[in-house]
Amino acid sequence: MSNTIRSPELEISSILHGGIHHPLLRSWQANGRTLTKSMFIYPIFISDNPDAEEIISTLPGQKRWGINKLESFLGPLVKKGLKSVILFGVPMKIQKDAIGSAADSPETPVILALQLLSKLFPQLLLVIDVCLCEYTSHGHCGILSSLPNPTHSDQPTIDAQASAERVAEVAINYAKAGAHVVAPSDMMDGRIRTIKLGLMRSGLANRCAIMSYSAKFASGMYGPFRDATGNAPMFGNRKCYQLPPNGRGIARRAIRRDAAEGADILMVKPALPYLDIISDCAQIAPEYPVACYQVSGEYAMVVAGAEKGIYDLKAMAFETTEGMVRAGASIILSYFTPQFLDWLGEER
């Protein structure tokens, strides 16, 4: 018996180890779908207390920032390669009302932040979340109809047209204040088209993109965000306008619809439990950049497990995020962005 052929029973196609024995060989297995700093958008909470730097207990490591703190907070991150932020308003002092008037009042913190950040960091891509829930007295993402909900008396009925029009008005005011990208998370029917037409009529369509939260599910993973922003609904829930977690088909319809209505970028949210939807999105709309949002609860879950010693934080942050990229995302909204700016600058 010859020693040169040690495993004649193995087929040539059985051999995988040869392709992964060196770090560079392993990195090539990504087929170019590899994480880079420019994929990340960092979510930032903007307080209406200008000097705020407040810890958010359920969102470890993240804070509510006053606009006076933004330069010293973001400056070092921009130096490390931060390319984009998404802003969320956290109004503590303002008057909330039925239509969320404070969302785009001239002194609302996100408008001040957009104006300031455009001056401080002209290269930074400014994305802004567009929704009413932080500013409405009822805490819902749209405008409510006076009609009772036909199936659940404890649930709201949405006035779809009034909602889309109000959301578009807010989006256009954010674009005027310097947003490069408006990202409607309200999930009202028809809002992408209404926003796009509004941008066109205002002469803003060629300098403001729409990143649609196209497939946003009614998830249990928004809890820390709701603590951070105080946007929990006063009654009922968001199941009449956010997608049901079992709904792969309606998610595909939502993606197609938002593309047809004028979205420039399509988003799936949350990310980790919805990798199939990310993959669907990349296949349904291959002409569009696909974004996904690793939401507050996913982030808190990864951090909590690491704190319990279940796994290594960095390894798990990479593994979860690489899953999203593998599924088809090329843009990641992540609370891990500051760490990735360090990690992706290191030798791995």
Ligand X SMILES: NCc1[nH]cc(CCC(=O)O)c1CC(=O)O
Asked if 158 touches ligand X (CB under 6 A), the answer is no
CB 300 within 8 A of CB 276: no
Candidate list 131, 175, 210, 291; residue touching Zn ion; CB under 5 A = 131
CA 208 distance to own-chain centroid: 17
Residue 62 or 136 with smaller CB distance to Zn ion: 136
Residue nearest to ligand X (CB): 225
- What is the widest separation between alpha-carbon atoms in the chain? 87
Asked if 40 touches ligand X (CB under 6 A), the answer is no
CB 13 within 8 A of CB 56: no
Give the span between the Cα atoms of 78 and 95, in whole angstroms.
Answer: 34
Answer yes or no: is 238 a known binding residue: yes
Candidate list 212, 296, 334, 337; residue touching ligand X; CB under 6 A = 296
- The binder of 155, among Zn ion, ligand X, none, by C-beta within 5 to 8 A per type, is Zn ion
Asked if 87 touches ligand X (CB under 6 A), the answer is no
Q: How far is the CB of 52 from Zn ion (least distance, A)?
A: 21
Category of 306 on φ-ψ map: left (φ > 0), alpha (ψ -120 to 50) or beta:
alpha
To the query of whether residue 216 is one of the catalytic residues in this protein, the response is yes
- AA identity, residue 43: P
Q: Which of 137, 183, 189, 139 is nearest to 161 (CA)?
A: 189
Backbone angles phi, psi at 183, to 5 degrees: -125, 90
To the query of whether residue 269 is one of the catalytic residues in this protein, the response is yes
DSSP 312-332: -HHHHHHHHHHHHHHHT-SEE
Residue list 239-278, contact with Zn ion (CB under 5 A): 240
Give the span between the Cα atoms of 259 and 117, in whole angstroms.
Answer: 29
Asked if 261 touches ligand X (CB under 6 A), the answer is no
CB 18 within 8 A of CB 304: no
Residue list 220-239, contact with ligand X (CB under 6 A): 222, 225-226, 231, 238
What does DSSP say about strands 63-65 and 53-55: parallel, antiparallel, or unpaired?
antiparallel
Taking contact as CB under 6 A, which single stretch among the options 112-120, 171-179, 218-226, 245-253 is the one that binds ligand X? 218-226
Please give the DSSP secondary-structure letter assigned to residue 158. B
Residue list 186-205, contact with ligand X (CB under 6 A): 186
Give the span between the Cα atoms of 90 and 102, in whole angstroms.
Answer: 11
Asked if 170 touches Zn ion (CB under 5 A), the answer is no
- AA identity, residue 190: G
Candidate list 44, 74, 133, 327; residue touching Zn ion; CB under 5 A = 133
Candidate list 41, 295, 303, 325; residue touching ligand X; CB under 6 A = 295
Answer yes or no: is 296 a known binding residue: yes
- The binder of 240, among ligand X, Zn ion, none, by C-beta within 5 to 8 A per type, is Zn ion
Contact set with ligand X (CB under 6 A): 129, 131, 133, 141, 185-186, 222, 225-226, 231, 238, 295-296
Annotated binding site for Zn(2+): 131, 133, 141
Contact set with Zn ion (CB under 5 A): 131, 133, 141, 152, 155, 240
Active site residues: 216, 269
Annotated binding site: 131, 133, 141, 226, 238, 296, 335
